[in-house]
Amino acid sequence: MSEVLQQLAEILEQRKKQSADESYVASLYAKGLDHILKKIGEEATETVIAAKGGDKQQIVYETADLWFHSMVMLADQGLGPEDVLAELQRRFGLSGLEEKAQRSQK
């Protein structure tokens, strides 16, 4: 796994123990899942707008915000980037149609 993702995951776990007035991430945890999900929605919208605008630097910036807030949500739910990477690894070798068919069987 990317060293950056691993380091960020560790920091996000540490922030769970901090006071909401000491850390932005701790304040997100304190406000709860709905607030975290709202932030993800905002960042997803900003990422889409950046992509439509075609500014590569802005696309990367907004995607980083989206990934960051998604990782906060994962940590809040007791998950981490390794869980998402494992799922992506599982999908290697599957066509998109096969993967979709497997989902509909569940």
| Burial annotation 19-40 (CB, 10 A radius, 16+ → b, else e) | eeeebebbebbeeeeeebeebb
For CA atoms 85, 26, 43, 65, the dihedral sign is negative
Fold of 3-105: Helix Hairpins (1.10.287)
Q: What is the pLDDT of residues 81-104, one digit of tens each?
A: 999 999 999 888 877 677 677 777
User: HEC string of the chain?
Assistant: CCHHHHHHHHHHHHHCCCCCCCCHHHHHHHHCHHHHHHHHHHHHHHHHHHHHHCCHHHHHHHHHHHHHHHHHHHHHCCCCHHHHHHHHHHHCCCCHHHHHHHHHHC
pTM for the full model? 0.86
Per-residue pLDDT tens digits for 19-75:
999 999 999 999 999 999 999 999 999 999 999 999 999 999 999 999 999 999 999
What is the per-residue pLDDT for 5?
96
Phi and psi dihedrals of 20, rounded to 5? -60, -25
Q: What is the pLDDT of residue 106?
A: 65
Average pLDDT over the chain reads 93
